[in-house]
Amino acid sequence: MLDILIKNGYVVDGTNNPWTKLDVAIQNGKIVEMKKTINDRAIKEIDATGKVVSPGFIDTHVHSDLLCIYPEIHQIKLKQGVTTELLGQDGISVAPVNHNTKELWQKQLKGLNGDIGDWDWLSVADYLTHLRESNILGNMAYLVPHGNVRTLVMGFEKREATRQEMTEMRKHVEEGLEQGALGFSSGLVYPPNVFSNTEEIIEICKGVAEYDGCFVVHMRNESFNILEAVDEMIQVAIESGVRLHLSHLKVIGVKNRQYYPQIIEKIEKARSLGIEVTFDQYPYTAGSTVFNAILPPWTHDGGTEEMLARLKDPNTRKKIKYELEESRDFENWVYNCGWENIIVSSVGSDNNKKFEGKSVSEIAELRETTAADAAFDLLIEEKGNITMVVHWGLEEDMESAMESPYHIVGSDSIFGGKPHPRLSGTQPRVLSRYVREKGILRLEEAIHHMTGAAAQLLRLDKRGILQKDYWADVVVFDPDEVADKSTYDEPNNEPVGIDYVIVNGQICVEEGECHLTGNGSVLA
């Protein structure tokens, strides 16, 4: 007897092929048969008449590194059809650490990954074991984060690495890859990654290339210097041989929107030269990250405590204000987007919860002070534990990138407070707004961008496609009803239209409701 039989559905298999009418049989965690009619009996039979049957969605950019072990919090990802997530993003995550750097990263990551207290792991291997032993709902894969290995070798210092230090960092990354990571990440606007030069990244990526890992990167600039930033990353790929994946591709600031087509041209040219380049993107014209990312890079030298000390010093504070208004030497959110478009999405203390969902300009009015002072004071009061949403661009530009064959869907989802709606709506939004309503992508293209293309990037074994002998990560949804319901005002609204989600052959979402006993695996 079969475990699960899905009958009468439109199978969109993740390869970009047109849909076909097939029954899908599942047993012992895998797809055992796909054909027009399967008459075998099953413990659970799902009638998918009028529904789409697709591979489980693979989210290539998330910040679930800590909270994925709490099903009651993490279930919103499963309810969107996400069965696999890629952790360790932006070069700032939870492993590897040592006894000296662990506390630093616990403080640094509170706003981004959440706070679960002390960790009981140090190495990548230990962290992945922790996930395996936890009740995770979906599958998890991991990237070795640049910032973590940099602090292991040279602390949080604002300087370039020596050749010996580069070699040591490469060894740490290779060790993480041996222990199960699928690639390497960096976020070149975040400390301490921002202090690195191109030579350092190339040296580390040479090791990543030897393991056929991918290099997933938040580039050094996504606004007025984005073309130079793309060139730098392509140079890294050429000189190291690594596979390159650009995180959350966008151009920050309407004043810079002319760079979009030039970026796509650069990617096309690189691929014509045999360089494997892809990118992910979330389907929104606003981003979200830690609030202290508004500050110039030099303010982060030494970590959070040093940053807060600088904000308390009147002379340093004056210098920072000037740079936020005038400087083009760093990824300047204030210069590009304005205080009115920077929204506080979560804070750590109850005292400042009233500011969640308000722009810095609005907070400044309420506090009867300047926007810069309101921002600095809030950072001090919250000890840096704040996230933000920033409105940065136009939908038509985002759509032009979405149409690229090198596009993959990644939510960049962050939990907590009044989050960005992409936490609850990314994949359903692609299917509703950009497939059904606007026709930017065909259904088969969108599914491919959320499944098969992501599996290819990560070199996942027998995942991302519906095929006999592949792991049964499956979504059943109504193509006419699926939709995101989360908004910037009500970001925690759950999506609709996703009926069943199956992870490794076990039903985890049934008629829209999530079972909190997980069946996820660590993909290493």
* pLDDT digits 0-9 by tens, 263-293: 999 999 999 999 999 999 999 999 998 999 9
Check whether residue 159 and residue 96 sit in a common domain.
yes
Q: Is the pLDDT of residue 344 over 90?
A: yes
Which pLDDT band holds residue 35 (cuts at 50, 70, 90)? very high
The reply to whether 351 falls in a domain is: yes
Check whether residue 312 and residue 441 sit in a common domain.
no
Question: What's phi and psi for 442, nearest 5 deg?
Answer: -70, 155
Which pLDDT band holds residue 243 (cuts at 50, 70, 90)? very high
Which domain CATH number covers 434?
3.20.20.140
Q: pLDDT averaged over the chain?
A: 96
Question: What's phi and psi for 454, nearest 5 deg?
Answer: -70, -40
Check whether residue 120 and residue 73 sit in a common domain.
yes
Which pLDDT band holds residue 214 (cuts at 50, 70, 90)? very high
Which pLDDT band holds residue 255 (cuts at 50, 70, 90)? confident
Q: Is the pLDDT of residue 337 over 90?
A: yes
DSSP state of 18: P
Check whether residue 86 and residue 234 sit in a common domain.
yes
> Residue 327: which domain range?
297-388
Give me the pLDDT at residue 111, please.
84
The reply to whether 249 falls in a domain is: yes
What percentage of the chain has pLDDT greater than the value 70?
Answer: 100
Q: What's the token pair of residue 464?
A: 């991302």
Q: How many domains are contained in the chain? A: 2
Check whether residue 120 and residue 262 sit in a common domain.
yes
The reply to whether 73 falls in a domain is: yes
Give me the pLDDT at residue 244, please.
98
Give me the pLDDT at residue 270, please.
98
The reply to whether 482 falls in a domain is: no
pTM: 0.93
What are the residues whose beta carbons fall under 8 Å from the beta carbon of 205, sequence distance 6 or more? 184, 215, 236, 237, 240, 241, 242
* pLDDT digits 0-9 by tens, 450-476: 999 999 999 999 999 999 999 999 999
Give me the pLDDT at residue 136, please.
98
Alpha carbon of residue 189 to chain centroid: 15
* pLDDT digits 0-9 by tens, 123-180: 999 999 999 999 999 999 999 999 999 999 999 999 999 999 999 999 999 999 999 9
Give me the pLDDT at residue 465, please.
98
What residues pair up with 52 in beta bridges, in sequence order? 10, 477
Q: Is the pLDDT of residue 222 over 90?
A: yes
* pLDDT digits 0-9 by tens, 369-384: 999 999 999 999 999 9
Q: Which string of b and e fits 78-116 if b means at least 16 CB within 10 Å?
A: bbbbbbbbbbbbbbbbbbbbeeebbebbbbbbbbbbbee
Give me the pLDDT at residue 114, please.
87
Check whether residue 266 and residue 413 sit in a common domain.
yes
- Token pair 């990548």: residue: 124
Check whether residue 416 and residue 381 sit in a common domain.
no
Q: Are 438 and 422 in contact (CB under 8 A)?
A: no
The reply to whether 17 falls in a domain is: no
* pLDDT digits 0-9 by tens, 57-98: 999 999 999 999 999 999 999 999 999 999 999 999 999 999
Strand order in the sheet with 277-281: 57-59, 82-87, 139-145, 183-187, 214-218, 243-246, 277-281, 407-409
- Tell me how far apart the alpha carbons of residues 364 and 434 are, in angstroms, rounded to a whole number: 36
* pLDDT digits 0-9 by tens, 101-112: 999 999 989 888
Check whether residue 90 and residue 227 sit in a common domain.
yes
Check whether residue 141 and residue 198 sit in a common domain.
yes
Give me the pLDDT at residue 440, please.
98
Give me the pLDDT at residue 153, please.
98
The reply to whether 364 falls in a domain is: yes
Q: Are 260 and 229 in contact (CB under 8 A)?
A: no
Boundary (domain end) residue, out of 458, 484, 504: 458
Check whether residue 236 and residue 306 sit in a common domain.
no
Q: Is 273 exposed, middle or buried (0-12, 13-18, 19+ CB in 10 A)?
A: exposed
- How confident is the model over 303-311, as a mean pLDDT? 94
**Helices assigned H by DSSP within 434-494:** 443-450, 452-458
Boundary (domain end) residue, out of 388, 407, 440: 388
Boundary (domain end) residue, out of 388, 419, 442: 388
Check whether residue 241 and residue 256 sit in a common domain.
yes
